[in-house]
Amino acid sequence: MSKGLNMVNIKFAIASLSLVFGSILPVAHAQQGPQKGLPVVELGAGMHLIHAEVARTEEQRAIGLMNRKEMPANAGMLFVFEQAGVQCFWMKNTLIPLSIAFVGDDGSIVNIDEMQALSEASHCSAKPVRYVLEMNQGWFSKRALKAGTKLRGGPWPK
């Protein structure tokens, strides 16, 4: 009887593992290409408009702009976190160089950094923030936008 129970347990374990790996593999496969289908919000920075995809879930934030070969000039990605914290980003599997703006709860840019494609260097907010905006590299500096600039149209109070 004990052999029968062990065999049942082994078969159950194998079936469970196949269910688990079966559900993980499609997600891993989906991460090989760019993330699609995220909602888009229109933001304002001075007289400039931004069309930012919004990454709200942990999975969306983890994938971010990975595996994209290009991004339109005024497009970006807004990362939204549940609570403020020191947010750190890297560029592993990100093919295009980006500028990153860490944004406070009121929509003001806290700090901006430049990130190189495929780099594992960390880029962190100068203080706890809930929002992070990634744009093509140089986007903020070309428009003379810097720390203290207030963004419009996002999830922060108007």
pLDDT tens for 5-17 read 444 443 333 433 3
Q: What pLDDT is recorded for position 32? A: 66
Higher confidence at residue 40 or residue 7? Answer: 40
> Is residue 143 over pLDDT 60?
yes
Q: In this predicted structure, what is the pLDDT of residue 33?
A: 80
Q: Indicate the average pLDDT of the chain.
A: 85
pLDDT digits (tens, 9 = 90+) for 93-119: 999 999 999 999 999 999 999 999 999
Average pLDDT of span 19-29: 37
Amino acid identity, position 4:
G
Residue 48 has pLDDT above 90, yes or no: yes
**Alpha-carbon gap, residue 49 to 73, rounded angstroms:** 10
Q: Sheet of 151-152: strands edge to edge?
A: 109-115, 98-103, 129-136, 75-85, 48-55, 40-45, 151-152
Pick the more confident residue, 116 or 29.
116
Confidence band for 90, pLDDT divided at 50, 70 and 90: very high
Percent of the chain at pLDDT exceeding 70: 79
Task: Calculate the dihedral angle through the C-alpha atoms of 23, 27, 32, 34, rounding to the nearest 10 degrees.
Answer: 150
Q: 10 Å Cβ neighbour count for 91? A: 23
What's residue 20's pLDDT?
A: 37
> What is the pLDDT at residue 31?
54
Which pLDDT score is estimated for 157?
A: 74
Looking at residue 156, its pLDDT comes to 83
